[in-house]
C-alpha cells in the first residue's frame, strides 16, 4: 500500500528515503536520531505505538534541529516536527485507536466482505493466494446461501480480491 495521504506513513517513508539517500552520516545526533524516529514511526504504523511516542518523536526531532551539523538533517527533523503539530490527531488515532483514516497502514487495517453486497460469485476466493476467503459459490436452488468472509489472520492484504470483486463487496476497514 502507498501512503495515500496518511501523514504518519508519509513521514516514515520520507525519513527512510532521507536515511538511505540524503544523510551524510557525519553527525551522530542526526544519524542516530533519524534511525530512532524511523523505529518509532514503524511501531506506530504497525499498530504498536504508545502514547509517549508522540512526545519522543518531538524530543528527538527538536534535538536534531538543535544539534545537526547540516541543513538537510535540520530540515528532515523540522519535517517531522511540522507533521506532529499539523497532524497530531492522526498520530493519536494510530496510537490510541489503532486506526488509519487513510486506510494506508497495512497492519492496522483489515479487509472484510460486505454481506449485503456480496453476490457469492467466488471470484475473490479463487484469486486469494493465502486461502483466507471462506465460503461456497452460490447454488441457485438453495435458499441458505451464505456470503463469503475473510479470515483476517490469514489475509496478507495483497489486494487481489479487491481487484476481482465486481460487486465492490470487499471493504478496507
pLDDT in tens, 91-141: 999 999 888 888 888 777 788 889 889 888 999 999 999 999 998 877 666
Lowest mean pLDDT among 14-23, 70-79, 137-146: 137-146
At residue 1, the pLDDT reads 41
Boundaries of CATH 1.20.1440.230 in the chain?
Answer: 7-97
pLDDT on residue 173:
76
Give the range among 33-47, 57-71, 104-118, 120-134 with minimum mean pLDDT. 104-118
- pLDDT reported for residue 4: 55
Domain span(s) for CATH 3.30.70.20 in the chain: 110-173
Q: What pairing do the DSSP bridges indicate for beta strands 149-150 and 111-113?
A: unpaired
Mean pLDDT score, 48-64: 96
Question: 127 with 120: CB under 8 angstroms?
Answer: no
Half-sphere exposure of 173 (CA within 13 A, CB side): 9
Across the chain, mean pLDDT equals 88
Q: Write the CATH number of the domain with boundaries 7-97.
A: 1.20.1440.230
Contact 127, 166 (CB under 8 A): no
Joined grid coordinates for residue 65: 534541529
**Cα–Cα distance measured from residue 58 to residue 80, given in angstroms and rounded to the nearest whole number:** 8
- Tell me the pTM: 0.70
Fold classification of 110-173 (topology level): Alpha-Beta Plaits (3.30.70)
Amino acid at each position: 500500500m502507498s501512503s495515500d495521504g496518511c501523514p504518519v506513513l508519509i513521514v516514515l517513508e520520507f525519513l527512510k528515503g532521507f536515511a538511505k539517500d540524503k544523510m551524510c552520516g557525519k553527525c551522530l545526533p542526526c544519524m542516530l536520531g533519524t534511525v530512532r524516529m524511523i523505529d518509532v514511526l514503524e511501531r506506530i504504523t504497525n499498530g504498536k505505538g504508545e502514547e509517549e511516542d508522540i512526545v519522543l518523536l518531538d524530543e528527538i526531532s527538536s534535538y536534531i534541529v538543535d544539534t545537526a551539523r547540516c541543513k538537510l538533517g535540520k530540515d528532515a527533523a523540522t519535517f517531522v516536527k511540522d507533521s506532529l503539530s499539523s497532524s497530531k490527531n492522526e498520530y493519536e488515532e494510530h496510537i490510541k485507536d489503532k486506526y488509519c483514516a487513510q486506510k494506508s497502514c497495512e497492519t492496522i487495517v483489515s479487509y472484510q466482505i460486505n454481506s449485503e453486497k456480496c453476490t457469492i460469485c467466488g471470484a475473490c476466493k479463487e484469486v486469494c493466494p493465502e486461502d483466507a476467503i471462506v465460503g461456497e459459490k452460490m447454488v441457485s436452488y438453495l435458499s441458505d446461501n451464505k456470503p463469503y468472509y475473510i479470515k483476517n489472520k490469514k489475509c496478507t492484504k495483497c489486494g487481489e480480491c479487491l481487484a476481482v470483486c465486481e460487486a465492490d463487496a470487499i471493504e478496507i476497514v
